[in-house]
Amino acid sequence: MTETGKPLLRVLQGEAVWPPPLWLMRQAGRYLPEFRALRDKADFITRCMTPDLATEITLQPIRRFAMDGAILFSDILILPWAMGQSLDFVQGTGPVLGAIRSEADLARLDPQRVADATAPVMETLSRLRATLDGPDPIGAAQGGKVALLGFAGAPFTVACYMVEGHGSRDFEATRGMAYANPMLFDRLMDMLTRATADMLCAQIDAGAEAVMLFDSWAGLLPPSQFRRHVIAPTRAIVREIQTRRPGIPVIGFPRLAGVMAAEYARDTGVKTMALDTGTDMAAMAGQVPPDLTLQGNLDPLLLLAGGDAMAAEARSIRDAMKGRPHVFNLGHGVVPPTPPEHVGELVRIVREG
């Protein structure tokens, strides 16, 4: 099977394919009983850093639902962890990091450590690619049609967790630092921009066929700051990948970007823009070039609810995008209480064409 035979890759290159290929953000995770069974065996970082476990978790949803894309099981915070920042995933609280607030804190990070520290992630990717494109003893290859996606957090969103030290509604310390100490914040952003491009190139070398940049907190920024901390670093990463690994598509996800999304699509060079739940896909399609792929954007809470309302909305999104390049997905991640049968039903509906 050649690469061009994978429907998801064809769409990510700008081709309209019907019915649209699909995968779901957070498709591997707590809503699957087989994931919960493994979760009790090892903590989160161990699961990410053990190729046997990360490979298995990545493939679980593919075996069950045969999505068109398999996304590496890892996390956007693995990069700061690999640079030496302390990171702990606390049950019920989320990630906790040793906050970066000063030059001295920043000086303790070492991007040179990333290649060695993330070697197990690259091993996971090469095993995944071999499985997905190989003969099919464990039912995960789906005839060589499943594309392998790598990812990273975009610099601004990763900086949010690094500076704040934990999740937040508004990341006040981070946005405050960007205004009050722009020299320090820019140094952190530059470090992240370079390290992210390097890590994504390494993921591509290990087998990723496309990569996604999650900018989950992009929408917190006013326009001038959005241009500086979202568009500019994303453009730098996209250019670096285009130069060093030509032909590999980049999916950008500027979550909650609102009216700035069209500018992001125009100025970053991403091949695909993923849209959050609040964006009207058809309206956005009218504002971006016809060969820019759009990805999204069913509400994860409609997937949780299931039934006729979910079916109607999924068909409506799919049909509105007919004739243009579209990857069907959610507008944000699958929520843990989602019944797996609803995911199966969604896959069936999107594929009925």
The contact set with ligand 1CP (CB under 6 A) reads: 25-29, 39, 44, 71, 73-77, 89, 94-95, 151, 167, 214, 216, 333
Residue 323 carries which side chain, given as an amino acid letter?
G
Would the annotation count 179 as a binding residue? no
Residue 51 carries which side chain, given as an amino acid letter?
P
Closer residue to ligand 1CP (CB): 39 or 239: 39
Would the annotation count 28 as a binding residue? yes
Would the annotation count 29 as a binding residue? yes
Residue 353 carries which side chain, given as an amino acid letter?
G
Would the annotation count 75 as a binding residue? yes
Q: How far is the CB of 351 from ligand 1CP (least distance, A)?
A: 20
Residue 179 annotated in active site: no
HEC profile for the chain? CCHHHCHHHHHHCCCCCCCCCECCCCCCCCCCHHHHHHHCCCCHHHHHHCHHHHHHHHHHHHHHHCCCEEECCCCCCHHHHHCCCCEEEECCCEEEECCCCCHHHHHCCCHHHHHHHCHHHHHHHHHHHHHHHCCCCCCCCHHHCCEEEEEEECHHHHHHHHHHCECCCCCHHHHHHHHHCHHHHHHHHHHHHHHHHHHHHHHHHHCCCEEEEEECCHHHCCHHHHHHHHHHHHHHHHHHHHHHCCCCCEEEEECCCHHHHHHHHHHHCCCEEECCCCCCHHHHHCCCCCCCEEEEEECHHHHHHCHHHHHHHHHHHHHHCCCCCEEEEECCCCCCCCCHHHHHHHHHHHHCC
Q: How far is the CB of 340 from ligand 1CP (least distance, A)?
A: 14
| Given 26, 63, 64, 101, the catalytic residue | 26
Structure tokens at 133: 């494109």
Residue 40 annotated in active site: no
Closer residue to ligand 1CP (CB): 209 or 324: 209
Residue 30 annotated in active site: yes
Would the annotation count 31 as a binding residue? no
Would the annotation count 26 as a binding residue? yes
Q: For residue 25, which of 266, 338, 313 has the smallest C-alpha distance?
A: 338
Q: How far is the CB of 256 from ligand 1CP (least distance, A)?
A: 10
Would the annotation count 342 as a binding residue? no
| Given 68, 133, 161, 318, the catalytic residue | 161
Structure tokens at 217: 């907190």
Residue 161 annotated in active site: yes
Q: Which residue is nearest to ligand 1CP (CB)?
A: 167
Q: How far is the CB of 54 from ligand 1CP (least distance, A)?
A: 9
Closer residue to ligand 1CP (CB): 184 or 343: 343
Q: How far is the CB of 300 from ligand 1CP (least distance, A)?
A: 10
Closer residue to ligand 1CP (CB): 219 or 333: 333
Closer residue to ligand 1CP (CB): 44 or 65: 44
| Given 10, 31, 75, 299, the catalytic residue | 75
Q: Residue 148 in contact with residue 126, Cβ under 8 Å?
A: no
Q: How far is the CB of 10 from ligand 1CP (least distance, A)?
A: 22
Closer residue to ligand 1CP (CB): 6 or 255: 255
Residue ranges for the binding site?
26-30, 75, 161, 216, 332
Q: Kindly list the catalytic residues.
A: 26, 30, 39, 75, 161
Residue list for the binding site for substrate: 26-30, 75, 161, 216, 332
